[in-house]
Amino acid sequence: MAGVSQISCKLFIALVAIKLCTIAAFNVVDFGAIGDGKTDSTSSFLKAWNAACNSIVPDATMVVPPGIFLVRYITFTGPCKSNNTELFIFGTIIAPDDYKFIGSDQFWIVFYRVNWLSIYGGTLDAKGSSLWACKSAGNDCPFGARSITFQSCSYVLVSGLKSINSQRIHISINQCSNMTLRKLVIIAPSRSPNTDGIHIESSTGITISNSSIGTGDDCISIGPGSKSLLMDQIACGPGHGISIGSLGRTAIEDGVQDVNVTNSIFTMTQNGVRVKSFPTASDGYAKNLLFKNLIMQNASNPMIIDQDYCPHGTCSQKNSAVKVSQVTFENITGTSWTRKAFTLRCSSTSPCDGIQLKDIDLHY
């Protein structure tokens, strides 16, 4: 089998090489980037992107070759002229050692209004440990940056990307549609603060599959306005599990609906699958949720619906108005680290409705 894998890998590399030779490929090195891990290549990356994005050739491609490329805050803006813009990353993109360079911007790499985009491979290293240490010491620190953000994008494929040590959220998706993320590897220590693997908000038609996510916060978090989401074959852990919410932050809020989490494993996570809302007056909601074919391996709280979520104990109200309905937990097996396999904490003013448990087999 190892020989087959090596042959398949070599064949893939050969096919990619042939493809890059037959299309308009814009290599960041040709625009001045130096992969020595020290030279600031931000402007070179931006020039290469602009050349690829403004090319009228189909499948115009930006290439990051093997090497370590230092990049500060950067925004790749669309829409592009090509009907499918591609980004092949063979090397590693790193943030500056001084966390303030991207931490003060709150973003590191941003794709804005880019449609029909495909990103393949590569590693992002945001070097977040120094910022985590600053926060742990109680010092005056910047908010921190999200490693890669997709804002107002559509028809995007991200395949084979690895993100490590983000200052905060690794991958942020906001006001996007029709995105597929697959074969991702996301890594941060279990005690790193707010390092969600993937955060989705105000987006529709997002699929995440065949990915490994281990962080200090939610493996995947789903915010208001998110609809038609599929998370399949996710290996989550360490982290806080997969969460819908927190909802109910504002009085007027878009709802969450049609979310499926299937065929996934949670290993030593603080939670498994969770729906949470603040005890506030809000018109938000969460409905048509399916959690199916999940394995818990010593997850502390495998299944949670919590309409009284108040982590800091400063909530003024006691009952959430966020309506939670039509939620199914089906074929969930394995072990719970605590005696609370299922927590159902619903609001008396807006009670849960249509909650179903089928084929649950969890052991303490």
What whole-number distance in Å separates Cα of residue 169 and Cα of residue 66?
A: 25
Residues recorded for the chain:
364
217 a catalytic residue: yes
Task: Verify whether residue 363 is a known catalytic residue.
Answer: no
CA–CA gap between residue 334 and residue 353 (Å, rounded): 26
CA atoms within 13 A on the CB side of 330: 12
Q: What angle do CA 152, 165, 231 make, to 5 degrees?
A: 50
Could you say which of 59, 217, 218, 306 is catalytic? 217
- Residue whose C-alpha is closest to residue 347's, from 245, 277, 286, 290: 277
Q: What sign for the dihedral angle of Cα 198, 164, 162, 238?
A: negative
Please give the Cα distance from 256 to 289 (Å, whole number): 9
Catalytic residue among 196, 218, 240, 306: 240
Amino acid at 358: K
Catalytic residue set: 217, 240
